[in-house]
Structure 1
Amino acid sequence: MYRRVAIIGGGAAAAALLSELLERQLPQPLHLDWYTGGGNSPRGVAYGTRSDKHLLNVRAASMSMFAARPHGFLDFAQRGDSTIAGTDFLPRRLYGDYLEAEVERALERARAAGHDVRVLPFTVDALVPESDGVTVIHGEENARVDAAVLAIGSLPPQPLTGVADAAIESGRYVTEPWGFLAHAKPDTRPLKVVLIGLGLTAVDVLLELSALWPNATFEAISRHGLLPEPHLHQASAPADDSSELVESMRDEPYIRSWIRLLRESVAQSADWRTVIDSLRPHTPSLWALLPDAERSRFLRHARWAWERVRHRMPPQVMAAMKALESAGRLHRQRGRLQAVDVTGDKLHLDIRLPHGRGMETMDADLVIQTVGLNTDVRRTMHPLIRQLSTNGHVTADPLGLGVTATKEGRVMHGDHAWPRFYAIGTLLRGVLWESTAIPEIRQQARHLADRLVRDA
Structure 2
Amino acid sequence: MFRRVAIIGGGAAGATLLSELLERPVAQPLHLDWYTGGGIPGRGVAYGTRSERHLLNVRAASMGMFASRPGGFLEYMQKLDPTIAGTDFLPRCWYGDYLEAETASALTRAKENGHDIRIVPHEVDAVVPENDGVTLFQSESTTRVEAAVLALGALTPRPLPGVDEAALSSGRYVTLPWQLLADAKSDTQPHNVLVIGLGLTAVDVIIELAAKWPNARFTAISRHGVLPEVHQSRAALPFEDSDELIESMRDAPDIRTWIHLLRDAITHTNDWRRVVDCLRPHTPTLWGLLPHNDRARFLRHARWAWERARHRLPPQVAKNIEALEKEGRLHRLRGHMHSVTPSDHGLQMTYLPKGEHAERTLDADLIVQSVGLETDVRRTQHVLLQQMMTNGHIRSDPFGLGIHATSDGRVIHNDHAWPRLFAIGSMLRGTLWESTAMPEIRQQARQLADQLLAG
For this structure pair, what is the TM-score category when the shorter chain's length is used for normalisation?
over 0.9
SS of match in other structure, 1:122: coil
Q: Give the whole-Å Cα distance in 1 for the aligned partners of 2:251 and 2:39.
A: 49
Q: TM-score, normalised by structure 2?
A: 0.99
- Per-residue CA deviations over 1:358-396 (Å, capped at 9, x if unaligned) read 211111111000101001111111110000000000011
Pairs within 5 Å for 1:408-419 = 408-419=408-419
Contact preservation (8 Å) 2:2, 2:452: yes
* Paired amino acid for 1:76: Y
Q: Give structure 1 regions of 4+ aligned residues with deviation exceeding 3 angstroms.
A: none
Partner of 1:75: 75
Partner of 1:385: 385
Partner of 1:52: 52
Instruction: Give the stretch that moved more between structures: 260-269 or 161-170.
Output: 260-269
Partner of 2:364: 364
SS of match in other structure, 1:336: strand
Q: Give the whole-Å Cα distance in 2 for the aligned partners of 1:185 and 1:445.
A: 38
* Paired amino acid for 1:22: L
Q: Give the whole-Å Cα distance in 1 for the aligned partners of 2:106 and 2:333.
A: 47
Partner of 2:62: 62
Partner of 2:255: 255
* Paired amino acid for 2:176: E
Partner of 2:146: 146
Q: Give the whole-Å Cα distance in 2 for the aligned partners of 1:116 and 1:414.
A: 34
How far 1:187 moved relative to its partner?
A: 1.5
Contact preservation (8 Å) 2:345, 2:363: no
Q: Give the whole-Å Cα distance in 2 for the aligned partners of 1:150 and 1:240.
A: 38
Partner of 1:351: 351
Partner of 1:442: 442
Residues 1:274 and 1:373: Cα distance change in structure 2 (over 3 Å): same
- Per-residue CA deviations over 1:17-49 (Å, capped at 9, x if unaligned) read 000000011110100000001144210000000
Instruction: Give the stretch that moved more between structures: 201-210 or 285-294.
Output: 285-294
Pairs within 5 Å for 1:12-161 = 12-161=12-161
SS of match in other structure, 1:387: helix
Contact preservation (8 Å) 2:377, 2:402: yes
Partner of 1:11: 11
Contact preservation (8 Å) 2:6, 2:149: yes
- Per-residue CA deviations over 1:332-357 (Å, capped at 9, x if unaligned) read 11001110000124201111111244
Partner of 2:268: 268
How far 1:241 moved relative to its partner?
A: 5.2
Contact preservation (8 Å) 1:64, 1:74: yes
* Paired amino acid for 1:246: I
Partner of 1:421: 421
How many residues align? The count is: 455
Contact preservation (8 Å) 2:15, 2:41: no
Partner of 2:326: 326
Contact preservation (8 Å) 1:126, 1:384: yes
Q: Give the whole-Å Cα distance in 1 for the aligned partners of 2:190 and 2:39.
A: 37
* Paired amino acid for 2:367: V
Contact preservation (8 Å) 1:404, 1:430: yes
How far 1:70 moved relative to its partner?
A: 2.1
Instruction: Give the stretch that moved more between structures: 247-256 or 410-419.
Output: 247-256
Contact preservation (8 Å) 1:40, 1:119: no
How far 1:237 moved relative to its partner?
A: 2.4
Q: Give the whole-Å Cα distance in 2 for the aligned partners of 1:238 and 1:359.
A: 46
Contact preservation (8 Å) 2:23, 2:106: yes
Determine if the alignment matches structure 1 residue 299 to structure 2 residue 304.
no
How far 1:295 moved relative to its partner?
A: 1.2
How far 1:281 moved relative to its partner?
A: 1.1
Partner of 1:215: 215
Q: TM-score, normalised by structure 1?
A: 0.98
Give 5+ residue unaligned stretches, structure 1.
none
Q: Give the whole-Å Cα distance in 1 for the aligned partners of 2:379 and 2:293.
A: 21
Q: Give the whole-Å Cα distance in 2 for the aligned partners of 1:19 and 1:382.
A: 26
Instruction: Give the stretch that moved more between structures: 62-71 or 140-149.
Output: 62-71
Residues 1:101 and 1:241: Cα distance change in structure 2 (over 3 Å): farther
How far 1:259 moved relative to its partner?
A: 1.5
SS of match in other structure, 2:159: coil
Q: Give the whole-Å Cα distance in 2 for the aligned partners of 1:377 and 1:75.
A: 38
- Per-residue CA deviations over 1:89-133 (Å, capped at 9, x if unaligned) read 110000000000001000000000000001110110000000011
* Paired amino acid for 1:202: A
SS of match in other structure, 2:69: coil
Instruction: Give the stretch that moved more between structures: 232-241 or 415-424.
Output: 232-241
* Paired amino acid for 1:256: R
SS of match in other structure, 1:335: strand
Residues 1:149 and 1:294: Cα distance change in structure 2 (over 3 Å): same
Q: Give the whole-Å Cα distance in 2 for the aligned partners of 1:185 and 1:263.
A: 46
SS of match in other structure, 1:210: helix
* Paired amino acid for 1:267: T
SS of match in other structure, 1:302: helix
Determine if the alignment matches structure 1 residue 337 to structure 2 residue 337.
yes
Partner of 1:288: 288
Determine if the alignment matches structure 1 residue 187 to structure 2 residue 187.
yes
Q: Calculate the aligned-residue CA RMSD, in Å.
A: 1.0
Contact preservation (8 Å) 1:404, 1:411: yes
Q: Give the whole-Å Cα distance in 2 for the aligned partners of 1:40 and 1:154.
A: 16
- Per-residue CA deviations over 1:276-297 (Å, capped at 9, x if unaligned) read 0001111011101122221111
SS of match in other structure, 2:332: strand
Contact preservation (8 Å) 2:172, 2:367: yes
Q: Give the whole-Å Cα distance in 1 for the aligned partners of 2:180 and 2:39.
A: 19
SS of match in other structure, 2:371: coil
